[in-house]
Structure 1
Amino acid sequence: MLISDLHTIGRTQVRVSALGFGAAAIGNLYRPVDDATAEATLKAVTDGGIGYIDTAPRYGHGLSERRLAELSADATLSTKVGRVLTPIPAPPPGTERHGFVDGDPFDEHFDYSYDGVMRSFEDSQKRLKRERIDMLLVHDLGVETHGSDHARHLATFLNDGLRALHELKAQGLTQAIGLGVNETAICDLVIAEAEIDVLMLAGRYTLLEQTPLDGLFERCAARGVSVLAAAPFNSGLLAGGAHFNYEAPPTDIMTRVRDIEAVCTRHNVPLAAAALQFPGFHPVIASTVVGMARPQQVARNIDLFSHPIPAELWHDLKAVGLLRADAPAGDVSQA
């Protein structure tokens, strides 16, 4: 599996590299990234053969998109709709809002309506300096984000906002449409009701969780829907970080990580390499998307993605119940 291997999204003409770049970090996620570092990171991404980049208006309240404006048109790009940004007075330096530090002076609100989707797209066109954006993903539908407002937002999207996506696709302003979410339930709800091309699913298909194998991936394959596996490190824990799903990890998860790492160590494989390569073995996965904030992180992840992993490692993880037996991995046959 090569970083630059290209995979087609669903039944579209959009192609993405096997390893993708998540651009939330250059929107100052959790900590500021200066312009020079962001520019150097993007150069390392493209020089390293990563040809797919994902962003969103939410990332730095427009900052991430703005920093991507000079990106070569050769790179495949996705952004998101579902939030609309409105101008605000510039907050004091060091201000964190929604996890982003020193973002651009805009605030966000959810809007999954036809007009909201169109306005979000038009604003992204301006920030990205692109007339056409390869993929548009509806951001953060689902119960976990919206709680008691979930049904209302879902109905607004299915009855109104979805029409905007199909119009943009018919006009050639985007080539692929889908979801960008963190939960599996909303994926099943939407693919049952709507004609879409792709799901970006963050943190749900990793070494620590393979619930999409319970039927979601099979249904995606049957409908011609590709999957982008984002957050393969589960918010950093599988790459030596301290967070699991954006929070402190529970004890049972830490125990599982140590057990998986012990198997990796026996095979002289970094845990992060196994975590980064695992999702791409499933045929429905078109790209594994990881966030990176600095050129050094890009170089490290490129090395991890290319690190040799023996088939015996996957076999051993399955043998002790640390990986589902039906998860495609390396040269190991599915159970």
Structure 2
Amino acid sequence: MPPVFPPCAASQLRLGLGGAPLGNLFSAVTDDDAQALVDAAWASGCRSFDTAPHYGHGLSERRLGDRLRRHPRDDFVLSSKVGRVLVPDAGAPRAQHGYVDILPFRQVWDFSAAGTRRSVEDSLQRLGLSRLDVAYVHDPDAATHGARAPEVLRQVIDETLPALRQLKQEGLVRAIGLGTNDVDVVLQVLREADLDVLMLAGRYSLLDHSALPELLPQCVARGVRIALGGVFNSGILATGTRHGAATFNYAPAAGTWVERTARIEAVCEAYGVPLRAAALQFPLAHPAVEIVMLGARQVAEWEDALAMLQHRIQPGFWTALREQGLLPAEAPTP
């Protein structure tokens, strides 16, 4: 299968811009800063962008669309997600689901065929574009849906994915997949359905290798291309353990994760490798991973990521991590 997220020919940059911060995740981003970030990413060679209705209740989609429409449509790859439909509500709280200063809508879960079509068409209107390159089914997992998770998964297989395949035939979508941080739910779907792509968050990183034994080999064998999110595991691999409370998977990091990260930091220090550089470069070595999507909040964060991707890491660093049991023997390294 050809690349879903081809890098810019001039830069060969395998880094895409994730749009959650553009929806005011945790704190507000001004319109000017959002525009500057998208423009800086484009200028650096980034041609892959991801968003979702969930991100600020449409705010991220509107901001990305406003900047990307200035460029020829075939020059970039844009993904969004289905599963949540936005319903207008003047009384909706301005802070919901971790997002602040959001647009006046409520989220309604809807994995039905009709809801899937509405979600894609609504996203295209917010973006001001006529197609999505990728549509992901967003968060069809037990952590999100609790006791309803088996019912949701059945509907995803029976209704959502067939509806996306129909939209693909109509040209509104070019590729379809799942957007999740749950390895098991992807494996369950792959037992019954084919996917083009996968947005996997946090489950293949320098710290968390849970996707490595079974899911990544399946993706290679079946040609499912992965856009990898959460390479910093929501914070701990960006900040390390020495500067205040560390977060893992959007919560205070448990002691086991803190201890393991501290051991990785010690190897980084011995070899003069920034932790962020190792975290960004490591997952790109796996043949299933096509691109890393970075949820940058400001231009400085994007520029730092570019510098970390270019930081030269000697092979002995990866060998040292293996020898200390911090990397699995089967994990490819740069």
TM-score (norm 1): 0.92
**Residue of structure 2 aligned with 1:297, choices 274, 297, 301:** 301
Mapped partners of 2:143, 2:6: distance in 1? 30
CA contact (8 A) 2:92 2:105 kept: no
The structure with higher relative contact order (CA 8 Å, sep 6+) is: 1
1:215 match:
214
For residues 15-51 of structure 1, the C-alpha deviation after alignment (integer angstroms, 9 at most, x for no partner) is 3551111110010000000100000011111111111
1:125 match:
124
CA RMSD of aligned residues (A): 1.3
1:50 is paired with a residue whose SS is coil
**Residue of structure 2 aligned with 1:272, choices 276, 288, 292:** 276
- Deviation of 1:160 after TM superposition, in Å, equals 1.4
Residues 14-33 of structure 1: pairs in structure 2 closer than 5 A: 15=6, 18-33=14-29
The answer to whether 1:159 aligns with 2:158 is: yes
- Deviation of 1:91 after TM superposition, in Å, equals 5.1
2:318 is paired with a residue whose SS is helix
1:3 match:
none
1:83 match:
84
CA contact (8 A) 2:80 2:134 kept: yes
Gaps of 5+ in 2: 8-12, 241-245
2:167 match:
168
Residues 38-187 of structure 1: pairs in structure 2 closer than 5 A: 38-70=34-66, 71=68, 72=71, 73=73, 74-89=75-90, 95-187=94-186
Mapped partners of 1:297, 1:75: distance in 2? 21
Mapped partners of 2:259, 2:157: distance in 1? 41
2:231 match:
232
Residue type at the aligned position of 2:48? Y
The answer to whether 1:8 aligns with 2:42 is: no
Q: How many residues align?
A: 318
1:327 is paired with a residue whose SS is coil
For residues 158-190 of structure 1, the C-alpha deviation after alignment (integer angstroms, 9 at most, x for no partner) is 111222100111112111100000110011011
Mapped partners of 1:141, 1:160: distance in 2? 13
Residue type at the aligned position of 1:188? L
- Deviation of 1:65 after TM superposition, in Å, equals 0.1
Gaps of 5+ in 1: 1-6, 331-335
List structure 1 segments (4+ residues) > 2 angstroms apart after TM superposition. Answer: 14-17
Identical-residue share of aligned pairs (%): 43
